[in-house]
Homo-oligomer: A and B are copies of this chain.
Amino acid sequence: MTDAPLTPERILEAAEEVLRRFGPAKATVVDVARALGVSHGSVYRHFPSKAALRDAVAERWLARVSAPLEAIAREDAPAPARLRRWLEALVAAKRSRAQGDPELFATYLALFADAREVVAEHVDALAAQAARIVADGVARGEMTAPDPAAAGRAVLDATARFHNPAHAQEWADPAIDAAFEAVFALVLRGLGAGETGEARSPES
């Protein structure tokens, strides 16, 4: 169609579109090439294998989740409330994707299963963001933690049920929000920030 130069960027865009339309099982490199109006051999000039292309697509999706969170983590604001907003944003990002377009979400889950490396890096990045908030909290005197880096990872681990896609089917449970509140309260108190992090707001 267009005769813009063939770049990894354009290939990734086409690959996402093909995945969206055909799903992870049916999407082929030939499909991606066809969407771009080139031969599949040309795609292999930019990505050494289908696996590499798959990893790059997965990485993009994960980056779209973690980038906005990075901004929250870096805010100059009280750490307990910031941690809460950060976690809520993380949970909301995953949940809205899972419930907004379940098929596409399942597609990416299938991708992630074969892109362990990429996912591990994403989790490390999230743990670092949480650790940053905790470390800030300790510096500000709003939290205490012997090892902020470990505590950040622990916060992520302790809330896994609410953002780890392995639990996605549980997100439809009406009790999930109450469960999140309970875990968050436990975690916040565990960080020595008992009542600060926005008590139950009495609305409705």
CB A109 to nearest CB in B, in angstroms, measures 12
Residues of B within 8 A of A189 (CB): 189-192
| Majority DSSP secondary structure for residues of A touching B | helix
* Interface: A139 (CB within 8 A): no
Q: Do A157 and B161 form a contact, CB below 8 Å, given A166-B166, A167-B166?
A: yes
Residues of B within 8 A of A150 (CB): 178, 182
* Interface: A30 (CB within 8 A): no
Is the beta-carbon distance between B157 and A179 smaller than 8 angstroms?
yes
On chain A, which size bracket covers the interface? Answer: 20 to 34
CB A184 to nearest CB in B, in angstroms, measures 9
Sampled A-B contacts (6; CB under 8 Å): A151-B182, A155-B186, A157-B179, A161-B164, A164-B167, A189-B190
Contact mask for chain A residues 38-82; partner B; CB cutoff 8 A; 1 contact, 0 none: 000000000000000000000000000000000000000000000
Q: Do A183 and B157 form a contact, CB below 8 Å, given A189-B189, A190-B189, A192-B189?
A: yes
Nearest 5 A/B pairs, CB to CB: A190-B190, A186-B190, A154-B182, A158-B158, A166-B166
Determine the distance from Cα of A155 to Cα of B164 in the docked complex, in whole angstroms. Answer: 17
Determine the distance from Cα of A183 to Cα of B183 in the docked complex, in whole angstroms. Answer: 12
* Interface: A138 (CB within 8 A): no
* Interface: A84 (CB within 8 A): no
Q: Which residues from 129 to 182 on chain A have a C-beta closer than 8 Å to any C-beta of chain B?
A: 147, 150-151, 153-155, 157-161, 164, 166-167, 178-179, 182
